[in-house]
Amino acid sequence: MQDKSDKDILVYGTVEEALPNALFRVLLDGSEKPVITYLAGKMRKYKIRVLVGDRVGVVPEPYGGKARIAKRL
């Protein structure tokens, strides 16, 4: 059972570069350093395409490292 504190926080950014194996380099709003991201499972399942220049919603991992693309705007 989830409560409101368990909800994912979306941070928005722009895809800068498409990398191999469905990885992307995303420049987040208000940040100068890009983040390596991967596609969420639902986006893979429904074959939602992400291209360079797209605006995306990203869920950062709590311990740093990679982030997950959860939404394409």
**pTM > 0.75:** yes
Token pair for 64: 């740093």
47 part of a folded domain:
yes
CATH number for the domain spanning 42: value is 2.40.50.140
Per-residue pLDDT of the chain (73 residues; tens, 9 = 90+): 555 556 789 999 999 999 999 999 999 999 999 999 999 999 999 999 999 999 999 999 988 889 999 999 9
Strands 23-28 and 11-19: antiparallel
58 part of a folded domain:
yes
1 part of a folded domain:
no
33 part of a folded domain:
yes
Q: Which domain holds residue 36?
A: 8-72
CB 36 within 8 A of CB 53: no
39 part of a folded domain:
yes
* Overall domain count for the chain: 1
48 part of a folded domain:
yes
2 part of a folded domain:
no
